[in-house]
Amino acid sequence: MILVTGSGLLGSDVIRVLRKEHEVTGTFSSHPKEGAVRLDITDRGNTIRAVGELKPEYVVHTAALTNVDYCEDHPDEAASINDMGTKNVVDAARMAGARLIYVSTDFVFDGSKGMYREEDPVNPISVYAYSKLMGEYRVKELPGSAIARTSVVYGNARQNFVTWVRDSLAKKQTIKVVTDQFNSPTLSYDCALAIAALIRHGAEGTYHTAGGERISRYDFAVKIARFYGLDPGLIEPVTSDTLKQKAKRPADSSLDVSKIGQYHQMLDIMDGLKKMEEVRQ
């Protein structure tokens, strides 16, 4: 049995993909869901008790506070969920004899070079990134664990960059998108397939489970517009400093995905957008 923490965009797709091969239990924190258990990862007792009762073979830990600017203003909450919450999950997995896969982020890098490999030095430049890196350190204390770093996750289940661009342009709204931030946009469903492959092969260590294409946010938005037959002229190119965002973003946190390729080939953007429509529920 596999326990999946978190019910956001990626967590939902991980559950959907893993249920094809495994018995899977999801979690909720406040709104009950059928077939899911209540899990508040900031509550150590609740976490250890819930995982201990279920005795999963694997825990896939997707639950996190991911709003980068919110984390910058609420560092204690970010630490409570992303660092200490992860410690609680790690300890619960250890006590239950479960292996763990932790979903992390490209933001653990400072963005000074791009196309980062798994072994490259980390240097977080925001509260969010630091809290996720602390979570990585917690996970590395658990033998047999794996870390899956991803980047700009998009998909069908929740509002995200792709749905924002698509829906805004469909309403003929002008949007501002930065030209000076580069990432490896990742289809949530494809990342879930990569995580399933890590489980299938019993992999451990760190893997970059991100999209197979490095691109700027602006060029990504243009590709989204063209894919959906919308007007890319409504996309206004701007630089990061004009947005006055609370938290610093890495200039280029794109990820090299060669290593995960031994288990799963990550999709580029156009194939990712096609797959997103194919798997729409």
Interhelix angle 188-200/269-278, rounded to 10 degrees, is 90
Exposure b/e, 258-267, CB count within 10 A at least 16 = b: ebbeebbebb
CA 162, CA 219: separation in Å to the nearest integer?
12
CB 204 within 8 A of CB 171: no
| Catalytically active residues, by annotation | 128
Could you tell me the two tokens for 61?
A: 């830990």
Residue 71 phi, psi dihedral angles, 5° rounding = -60, -40
Who contacts 131 (Cβ-Cβ below 8 Å, separation ≥6)? 65, 71, 75, 78, 79, 81, 82, 83
